[in-house]
Amino acid sequence: MRPARFVERATEGAARAGEVHTARGTFTTPCFMPVGTRGSVRMVAAQDLEGLGAQVVLANAYHLMLRPGAESVAALGGLHAFTGWGGHFLTDSGGYQVFSLDPAVDDDGVTFRSTYDGSSHRLTPERAVAVQELLGADIQMVLDVCSPLPSPHPVLRLALERTAAWAERARHAHRRDDQCLFGIVQGGADPALREESATRTAALELDGYGIGGLSVGEPRHEMLPALAAATARLPRDRPRYLMGVGDPVSIVEAVTRGVDMFDCVLPTRLGRHGSALTAGGRLSLRTATMASDDAPVDPACGCSVCARHSRAYLRHLFQVGEPVAGRLLSLHNLSWLAAFLARIGEAITDGTLESLRIETAAIWT
């Protein structure tokens, strides 16, 4: 019996707030997953994530299979014991990272060189499943082919065909009944290809569905129709995950089109470079005007950073190169984004999502 199911608790149009049930437990949606590529979110500890109310952390199988190695992680008890994180883990197969290295691709899989030492490695759909089973994540993603955008139609077609075939092979290779397997929808910005990919992937009856290859440089007005075409063909009783998207406008627009889960490095990357997510939009803490500002980063935010530290203090830390500056602002950004997703869920329940969508667009675009 499959370990995952999705339960809708409220809807507004295509948007839904609900719960994902897995062998580990339950997490609520819509949700944002902090990115811990190598098993750790940059500058943030597992206990910090617990305090922030994070439910799911994303790790990357490509990086972990290279260092320290999937077998090493398994010998140490799997990702949860290895990292000290007791919530859900989702592992990406690493397909996006592999394809950024210009690998040799054939119908069977990909051959690539390690970004660490240049050594050669082979990844097939079956090997991607085996690696992630060793890592022990609660949710693993199939190996897919992620084409850059724009790409000509024949390239998108080949990526779709290989992704569909590889998802079926992954389904047959998957053995752990305590681990969910998510398929991935490809098709570029072409709604017809997205619809076809979603239909074929849904036919495999997997535990959930990722939507990959979007928000990779294409304008939002091209992304959203392709996204809507995909979600319309995915089953309502399984979670839907838009991969690599974390800006507020794209999140709320995707939720209105039926997406439940998101991940992105955006909040921690911005934090490390001195930018904060706030109710008024993006705020740079490095500007000279912050030097005498004793207000919290975001007066509307209830996080521990805003409760204790001023904008002036954080600017000072950045000015003198204190590493804790990036850590504090990363914590704020993750907390702010978690609260934003919770607010979206409340808006769905209250029937006010359209008002929140308009408000978000006015602030962030």
- 302 by Cβ neighbours in 10 Å (0-12 / 13-18 / 19+) ranks as exposed
- 210 by Cβ neighbours in 10 Å (0-12 / 13-18 / 19+) ranks as buried
User: Which residue has 């997997």 as its token pair?
Assistant: 206
102 catalytic residue (yes or no): no
User: Which residue has 């912050």 as its token pair?
Assistant: 290
Helices 324-350 and 353-364: angle between axes, nearest 10 degrees? 150
Q: Residue 291 is encoded by which pair of tokens?
A: 């030097």
Q: Say which DSSP state 39 is in.
A: S
What region does 137 belong to: left with phi over 0, alpha with psi -120 to 50, or beta? Answer: beta
- How many other C-beta atoms can be found within 10 angstroms of the C-beta atom of residue 85? 23
H helix or E strand, kind and range, residue 26: strand 26-29
What whole-number distance in Å separates Cα of residue 236 and Cα of residue 18?
11
Dihedral angle over CA of 139, 106, 163, 172, nearest 10? -60
Catalytic member of 92, 190, 247, 260: 92
92 catalytic residue (yes or no): yes
- Amino acid of residue 180: C
Pairing type for strands 110-113 and 120-123 reads: antiparallel
Which 3 state secondary structure label does DSSP give 313?
helix
In sequence order, what are the beta bridge partners of 227?
A: none
Pairing type for strands 275-278 and 281-284 reads: antiparallel
Catalytic member of 48, 144, 263, 298: 263
Identify whether the C-beta of residue 44 lies closer than 8 Å to the C-beta of residue 272. Answer: no
Kindly report the backbone phi and psi dihedral angles of residue 277, in degrees, each rounded to the nearest multiple of 5, phi listed first. Answer: -85, 130
Which residues belong to the active site?
A: 92, 263
